[in-house]
């Protein structure tokens, strides 16, 4: 879905919605994302009451439970600042599905719509709003990029990630086969249909590895856990890294 960025001002403050996965399973990626934003001169606010966007319940058909969780998040962002989310599918949930989720309640729906308009996936925010222009100062790296499929389809995050990686000197992004294909995570799908999910995750791990890259990066915690968990079980040393961490690592020489 195309968004009009032309009228967006560079803000002084943003909210950071870490997502439950980043908070608990890859906090360093969240930290790196925050530092990336701060280096651009942005004050990053972390609402302490944040929990989860509610997606696991929503996509499983438990709308009431999703609403109960999402309702709490609606109250986290009182000021009219952008909300930056370091995970594509969670950003997509808040941006595209919150308004529908609260369709039965005019007041909450209005709130959800207002929030939806200022939710940004991290890479989108860096590219489209902050218009960062990095040079890259890290070690040369050959990598490949996996984007969450809902994020790429709902928000075009693959384009933003590619643009950021393209700015970095010495970083070569290799193209895997079936790039746009899902890694088989699908939230609870991985547990409900383990055989199919495993086949998809295995194929995805193969495709990423076959590029000859030294690692893959992704801006989605769920995909990372799925593919990395698969590789680790295979005792393969090939691994993924959260895009925010890779960006932070490769841009240490950048100034504000």
The order of strands in the sheet holding 83-85 is 43-45, 13-16, 83-85, 119-121
Residue 71 vs 215, nearer CB to another protein: 71
Q: Which of these segments, 7-15, 109-117, 155-163, 229-237, binds another protein (CB under 8 A)?
A: 229-237
19-78 positions binding another protein, by CB under 8 A: 20, 22-28, 30-31, 34, 46, 48-52, 54, 56-66, 68-69, 71-72
Contacts of 194 (CB under 8 A, 6+ apart): none
CA dihedral 89→95→101→105, nearest 10 degrees, is 160
**Contact by Cβ (8 Å): 116, 91:** no
Closer of 26 and 143 to another protein (Cβ): 26
Q: How far is the CB of 251 from another protein (least distance, A)?
A: 19
Question: Toward another protein, which CB reaches closer, 8 or 31?
Answer: 31
- Residue of 225, 238, 239, 249 interacting with another protein (CB under 8 A): 225
State which of positions 106-135 bind another protein (CB under 8 A). Answer: none
* Contact string (CB under 8 A) for another protein, positions 185-224, x = contact: xxx-xxxxxxxxxxxxxx----------------------
Query: What is the closest distance, in whole angstroms, from the C-beta atom of residue 222 to another protein in the complex?
Result: 10
Residue (47 or 142) nearer to another protein, CB: 47
Cβ atoms within 10 Å of 194's Cβ, excluding its own: 12
Min separation Cβ 12 and another protein, Å:
19
- 169 vs 196, which CB is nearer to another protein? 196
Can you tell me the distance from the alpha carbon of 27 to that of 58, in angstroms, rounded to the nearest whole number?
Answer: 24
Q: What is the bridge-based pairing of β-strands 171-174 and 141-146?
A: parallel
Size of the site for another protein (CB under 8 A): 66
Q: Per CB under 8 A, does 238 bind another protein?
A: no
- Residue number, 11 or 202, with CB nearest to another protein: 202
Nearer to another protein, 58 or 125 (CB): 58
List of residues contacting another protein (CB under 8 A):
18, 20, 22-28, 30-31, 34, 46, 48-52, 54, 56-66, 68-69, 71-72, 100, 149-150, 153-154, 180-182, 184-187, 189-202, 225-226, 229-230, 232-233
């Amino acid at each position: 879905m195309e968004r009009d960025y032309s009228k967006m001002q560079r803000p002084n403050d943003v909210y950071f919605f870490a997502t439950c996965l980043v908070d608990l399973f890859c906090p360093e990626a969240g930290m790196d994302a925050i530092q990336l934003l701060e280096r651009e001169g942005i004050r990053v606010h972390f609402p302490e009451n944040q929990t989860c966007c509610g997606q696991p319940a929503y996509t499983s058909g438990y709308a009431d439970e999703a609403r109960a969780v999402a309702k709490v998040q609606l109250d986290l962002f009182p000021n009219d600042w952008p909300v930056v989310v370091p995970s594509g599918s969670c950003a997509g949930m808040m941006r595209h599905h919150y308004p529908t989720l609260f369709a039965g309640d005019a007041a909450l729906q209005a709130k959800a719509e207002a929030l939806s308009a200022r939710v940004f996936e991290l890479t989108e925010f860096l590219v489209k709003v902050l218009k960062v222009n990095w040079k890259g100062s890290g070690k040369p790296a050959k990598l490949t990029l996996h984007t969450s499929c809902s994020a790429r389809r709902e928000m075009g995050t693959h384009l933003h990630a590619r643009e950021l990686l393209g700015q970095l000197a010495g970083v070569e992004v290799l193209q895997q086969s079936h790039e746009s294909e899902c890694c088989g995570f699908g939230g609870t799908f991985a547990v409900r249909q383990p055989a199919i999910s495993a086949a998809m995750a295995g194929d995805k791990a193969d495709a990423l590895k076959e590029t000859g890259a030294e690692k893959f990066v992704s801006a989605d915690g769920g995909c990372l856990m799925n593919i990395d968990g698969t590789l680790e079980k295979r005792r393969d040393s090939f691994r993924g890294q959260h895009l925010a961490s890779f960006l932070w690592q490769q841009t240490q020489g950048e100034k504000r």
